[in-house]
Structure 1
Amino acid sequence: MSFRSAGFRPAVLGSAIALVFALSASALMAQDAQPKTAAPAAAATAAVPASATTAAAPATPVVEAAAKPGDATAGQAKAAVCGACHGMDGNSSDAQYPKLAGQSEQYIVRQLTDFKAAKRQNPIMMGMAAPLSQQDMHDVGAYFASKTPLPGVADQALVEHGQTLFRQGDATRGIPACMACHSIDGRGNPGAKYPQLTSQHAQYIQATLKSWHDGTTWGDDAQSQIMPAIAKQLSADDIAALASYIEGLHSADAQPAATP
């Protein structure tokens, strides 16, 4: 159907215009009557407080970069605070504190890590280890590993007993030879993280063995259970003899333990 202007009456045109206005008005009224709950997705997202989105998002764990082999030069500065107890070169003058000179980097890192994680309990050392990164620990370990332990002196009255236990153990009581893990001259095994014992203060060795004998442990892994189990088989005389013998034990070249 088509419309021609000649046949399109004014009355009809007026009715059509009125109808268009009526429909438009109805549409506008219907739109205004809709509830305002539906908001654009972007606006809804923007309305959420930043704190709410942050709280909902999972925390991103802080991953520490893998440590490089220790730098003894960097470690010297980092180890300065250790000197108060262990001596600036790792040779402590107070026998209650262990000598660290010549101790392997790997063993020192393991102990500092355990102190930081509170697996090994010592109020002073836990506080000292807390701020250290793994790289700090490696650097400190490398520094002390580069130093030479000063030789000690054994009580001759205890040498024979101590030497027998260190080199042969006592199979009847389930006591292995100490040198099986700590080497024939007490220099330890860095790869297995078995510590150097040579020239260590007898007082420190004795106190540590007694602590293990009485039930103290330095961790919950299999390696941490080795020495407590052995120490339980030792008598007070065994402990005294071993501690004295170890203090007087040193290799002829007196070189620091090698760090692979």
Structure 2
Amino acid sequence: MKKALVIVFASLAMMASAASFAKGDATKGKELSATCAACHGADGNSTNPEWPKLAGQGEAYLAKQLRDYRSEARVDAVMSAQAMLIASDEDVDHLAAYFASQEATPGSADEASVEEGGLLYKGGKTSTKVTACAACHGPTGAGNDPAKFPKLSGQHVTYLIAQLKMFRSGERANDAGQMMRNIAEKMSDKDMKAVAEYISGLQD
């Protein structure tokens, strides 16, 4: 019960902070995006499955992740260095606005994992107390940008699994209220693979 209240209050706090989020200028963001394109693609649709698709991702979520890299709340050897090169917080907002405005390419799923992954995504796993992903990320994986819950649909399977494993190990720790860490620590590698396959095949 206590953990559930922490999640509720953390969600409310994120929604409140989103109200003051200043949207960037997508046109300016495009002008700043050349360096990002090397890994994430000119329109935010990366071809390397280890690097996330940014196209169509929530603007507030993208801005938060870039700021977290800049403050070292989230750490990655490549992204931390790249984020530090962004000249200002205003440019962070412009980049977030540009990639959020792009259309994401559809993902694909391993049909053998879809049924199990769908059950996990939509209903969780009562035996290990894994919360349903849809509770925060929506039934189609569209996310909830005011709360800074990311869009997941169509994302690369490899990237999704890597992030779940980093949440499980604590290597990634920029989730409010430890929400993702609390969920991922209860998931097996098999759970992660199944739900990632299901998510990649979703279309919002």
Matches within 5 A, 1:134-213: 134-213=89-168
Distance 1:70 1:165 in 2: 35
Q: Secondary structure at the match of 2:127?
A: helix
Distance 2:173 2:70 in 1: 12
Matches within 5 A, 1:36-115: 68-115=22-69
TM-score, structure 2 normalization: 0.86
What root-mean-square deviation, in Å, do the aligned CA atoms of Structure 1 and Structure 2 show?
Answer: 1.5
State whether residues 80 and 88 of structure 1, in contact with CA within 8 Å, keep that contact through their aligned partners in structure 2: yes
Which segments of 5 or more consecutive residues in structure 1 lack a partner in the other structure? 1-65, 252-260
Greater Rg, structure 1 or structure 2? 1
Distance 2:120 2:180 in 1: 14
- Which residue in 2 is equivalent to 1:247? 200
Give CA deviations for 1:8-63 in whole Å, capped at 9, x if unaligned.
Answer: xxxxxxxxxxxxxxxxxxxxxxxxxxxxxxxxxxxxxxxxxxxxxxxxxxxxxxxx
- Which residue in 2 is equivalent to 1:238? 191
State whether residues 101 and 145 of structure 1, in contact with CA within 8 Å, keep that contact through their aligned partners in structure 2: yes
Distance 1:68 1:170 in 2: 38
Distance 1:194 1:68, change over 3 A: closer
State whether residues 217 and 224 of structure 1, in contact with CA within 8 Å, keep that contact through their aligned partners in structure 2: no
- Which residue in 1 is equivalent to 2:71? 117
State whether residues 154 and 248 of structure 1, in contact with CA within 8 Å, keep that contact through their aligned partners in structure 2: yes
Distance 1:187 1:224 in 2: 21
Distance 1:126 1:224 in 2: 22
Which segments of 5 or more consecutive residues in structure 2 lack a partner in the other structure? 1-19
State whether residues 71 and 143 of structure 1, in contact with CA within 8 Å, keep that contact through their aligned partners in structure 2: yes
Q: Secondary structure at the match of 1:180?
A: helix
Identity of aligned residues (%): 42
Give CA deviations for 1:96-151 in whole Å, capped at 9, x if unaligned.
Answer: 00000000110011001110011111111111111321111111011011111111
Instruction: Report the AA paired with residue 169 of structure 2.
Output: D
Instruction: Report the AA paired with residue 178 of structure 2.
Output: Q
Higher relative contact order (CA 8 A, sep 6+): 2
- Which residue in 1 is equivalent to 2:14? none
In the TM superposition, what is the alpha-carbon distance from 1:228 to its structure 2 partner? 1.1
Distance 2:112 2:22 in 1: 46
Distance 1:84 1:99, change over 3 A: same
Distance 1:102 1:249 in 2: 14
Moved beyond 4 Å, runs of 4+: none
TM-score, structure 1 normalization: 0.68
In the TM superposition, what is the alpha-carbon distance from 1:67 to its structure 2 partner? 8.0
- Number of residues paired by the alignment? 184
